[in-house]
Each structure stands twice: as C-alpha cells, then as structure tokens.
C-alpha cells in the first residue's frame, strides 16, 4: 500500500471550507489553515476566519485517493510537476499547524525569486517596476533598467512592499 502524503489542492474561489467538510465526511484528511480577520461594516465589526492561502487546501492522500478527491464539487486540480502531484513534507504542514495553534500572527507572503519582475506597492518607490537581483528574508534588491540609455540603477526595498507582476 502506498504511503499517504500531503498535497496542495487548488479549489474554486471560496470553496475551501465546503471541500474540507466534504472530504472529512468521506474520512479523507484535509487541512485548511485559517486566519482570523476583522471586517468592519457601517454598524459593527465582526471577526471572521478566512483561508490563509486563498483557493488552496491541503489533503493527505495516496495516489489512488487523489482521483476521489478531484470528484468533490469545487475541487479543480492538485498542484503537479508534470502529471504527478507534488508532495509537501509533513514538517511544513506541522509548522503551519503549530503557528496557527499558538496564535502567532501569520500572513501570506508573495513567493518571489531572483529574476522575477516586480513592482513596489507603497513607500518611497511606490509604482516602480524592476527585477529582483538579490533577495533575503527581509529585503529585495531591485534593479530598474532604462533601455533608452542602456543603464540601470539598483536599490533595496522591504520585501513586504514588493508584488510580483
């Protein structure tokens, strides 16, 4: 029997909670990391839970079970390399669970790599577009090229202010 592993399931928008409950009814282990946010209406403020990763849900399954999961209403596809779903290490899922259980402030963060074309959302360089040439946990070094004069400049910006184009 093949070992069950964690896989990322891409879902239709706003179907994450429904799919989780459907899978749990079928005794298929699913993990939906949620974060609590405050929504403000004109007459009140309400705390609601929304998925940490919008349109994604983690499913622990073996290869035979993945086709069963995809029959669930709202399930789109597993994240794959070629035609094979990409396994996610138990330690990664465990770390996310631990952060949620300990109520550590966590937020999704854009997946950025060197070479990605980005723009700066806010701050002094707001609206600037360029390429990431170096990245660490907190800072990105961005290069802006001016083709007309065949020249470039580079600067560092807080990684939380950068968004991938």
- The chain-wide mean pLDDT, for the chain, equals 85
Question: Could you tell me the pLDDT band of residue 156, with boundaries at 50, 70 and 90?
Answer: confident
Q: What is the mean pLDDT of residues 4-33?
A: 96
d(CA 91, CA 71): 28
Separation in Å, CA 95 to CA 50, 65, 71: 19, 24, 29
Of the residues 101, 132, 148, which one is the last residue of a structural domain? 101
Has residue 110 been placed in a domain? Answer: no
CA 105-29-74 angle, 5° bins? 85
Of all helices (H) and strands (E), which one includes residue 107?
A: none
Long-range CB contacts (< 8 A, 24+ apart) of 127-135?
A: 129/165, 132/162, 135/159
Q: Are 17 and 87 in the same domain?
A: yes
Q: Are 141 and 82 in the same domain?
A: no
Q: Are 90 and 11 in the same domain?
A: yes
Could you tell me the CATH number of the domain that includes residue 15? 3.30.70.940
Question: Residue 158 forms beta bridges with which residues?
Answer: 139
pLDDT > 70? residue 26: yes
pLDDT > 60? residue 18: yes
pLDDT > 80? residue 115: yes
The answer to whether residues 51 and 96 touch, using CB atoms and an 8 Å cutoff, is no
The reported pLDDT for the residue numbered 56 is: 94
Per-residue pLDDT reduced to its tens digit, 35-54: 888 888 888 899 889 998 89
pLDDT > 90? residue 2: no
Burial of 31 by CB count in 10 Å (0-12 exposed, 13-18 middle, 19+ buried)? Answer: middle
d(CA 123, CA 158): 9
Has residue 131 been placed in a domain? Answer: yes
Could you tell me the CATH number of the domain that includes residue 147? 2.30.30
Q: Is residue 21 classed as helix, strand or coil in its secondary structure?
A: helix
Q: What is the mean pLDDT of residues 91-108?
A: 83
Question: Could you tell me the pLDDT band of residue 63, with boundaries at 50, 70 and 90?
Answer: confident
Q: Sheet holding 151-158: strands in order across?
A: 151-158, 139-146, 129-135, 117-120, 162-164
């Amino acid at each position: 029997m093949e070992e069950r592993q964690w896989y990322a399931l891409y879902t239709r928008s706003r179907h994450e909670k429904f799919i989780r409950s459907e899978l749990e009814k079928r005794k298929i282990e699913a993990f939906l990391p949620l974060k609590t946010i405050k929504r403000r209406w004109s007459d009140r403020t309400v705390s609601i839970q929304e998925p940490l990763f919008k349109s994604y849900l983690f499913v622990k399954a073996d290869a035979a079970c993945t086709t069963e999961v995809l029959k669930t209403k709202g399930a789109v596809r597993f994240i794959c390399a070629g035609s094979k779903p990409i396994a996610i290490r138990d330690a990664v899922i465990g770390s996310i669970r631990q952060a949620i259980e300990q109520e550590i402030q966590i937020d999704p963060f854009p997946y950025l790599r060197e070479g990605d074309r980005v723009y700066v959302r806010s701050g002094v360089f707001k609206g600037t577009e360029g390429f990431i040439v170096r990245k660490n946990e907190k800072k990105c070094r961005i290069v802006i090229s001016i083709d007309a004069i065949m020249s470039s400049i580079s600067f560092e910006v807080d990684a939380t202010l950068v968004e991938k184009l």
